[in-house]
Amino acid sequence: MNGEGNDCELGFEAYFEEKVIPLIAREHPELVSEMSVRVEGSFGLGAGDELSDLDVTLFLPEKLWKERGGQLQLTLLHKLEPFVAHPSSVFPRDPFVWWNLRHSEISVHRLSELLCGRAESVLAGEREVPWEEVAVEELLQLQIHPVLRDGHKALARLRELTSPERYPKRLWVKGLICELVDLAGELEEFEKAVRRSKPLEAQMFLGEVVRMLFRAVFLTNRRYYPWRNGFLRMFKELPFGPKELGGEFEIVGSEASWPEKSAAVKRIVHTVTKQILESGMLTPDMLRYLLHARDEKAWENPDWLAGAEARGRQAEEAGYDSWYGWIWERWGWPEQGGVP
């Protein structure tokens, strides 16, 4: 194997057609028509550059993967000229560069691994897409990552079956409610770190806040979002967000002072909240009683607020603020008779 690599002189599509396919056709001809091939990572998101590694997944049907997958993986590692110079040719096996994990540019996987291990049964019509179990990020990969080969149109069929238009509305609501609950805690800690003049802590919390804000914006638009890379590029393509929030995110990512960044974050939260309400994604009550909305599964329980209101009345009848009603719920106190 030549360890020098192509240094991206060939585009990854040309590399695959000119280097990878001929090798597989020569060494494992029975697999060429059966495999589905998808580009992952930065190249898969259309953001690859000279610093990006090539990350490609080659999917095989379960039976073929068990019988021939290991041999194919060995061939790809041993005989294929890499797309880019492997990190190991730059960094020796030194314990002080443990962070530079060696990996295969092309990895051989079961097709059945997709959709939480249900892909082949979904394609066979034996079951529905397991929407509740599949991460939104995986659904995005199915939708936008380039497919270089597609045996039996497996990835094309999965792409159609998992389009955002098919995603259940209740799960958009669930995702947004759960995201906002988590975001609330990070926002509070971020604000405290800023007010305490602790920049390192503020930076740690800000990273989480920004990631969650982006996810909330995607969910408000009813769009799938990526794992990490690609947020900014995809954000610019959303119907709501780029015009309304782009300038504020620039402040957050700039060398502005921490109070200025905090103020920008608050403006982003206000604008996103306004859009959530105007779009009808969540109701005002869901935002007022966010924890109750999550705990009572408001996305599938139309009477979710009744229990919270009833417990609030119990607290009031016992002489306390209605907000204390959660105590009645947690300890299972009776509806009548006040505090046991």
Give the start-to-end residue ranges of the domains of the chain: 13-166, 170-286
* 225-271 pLDDT, tens digit each: 998 888 888 999 999 999 999 999 999 999 999 999 999 999 999 99
Give me the mean pLDDT over the 211-232 stretch: 93
Is the full-model pTM beyond 0.85?
A: yes
Q: What percent of the chain has pLDDT over 90?
A: 72
Second-level CATH architecture of 170-286: Up-down Bundle (1.20)
Top pLDDT among 193 and 232 is at 193
- pLDDT value, residue 323: 85
What band does 87 get if pLDDT is binned at 50, 70 and 90? very low
Q: Convert the pLDDT of each residue in 160-177 to its tens digit.
A: 999 999 999 999 999 999
The predicted pLDDT at position 88 comes to: 46
**Mean pLDDT calculated for residue range 47-65:** 87
- Average pLDDT value for residue range 88-97: 59
Q: What's the CATH architecture for 13-166? A: 2-Layer Sandwich (3.30)
Rg (CA), the chain: 25
Cα–Cα distance for residue pair 65/68, rounded to 1 Å? 5
Mean pLDDT, to the nearest integer, of 267-294?
95
Question: Residue range 124-152: average pLDDT?
Answer: 95
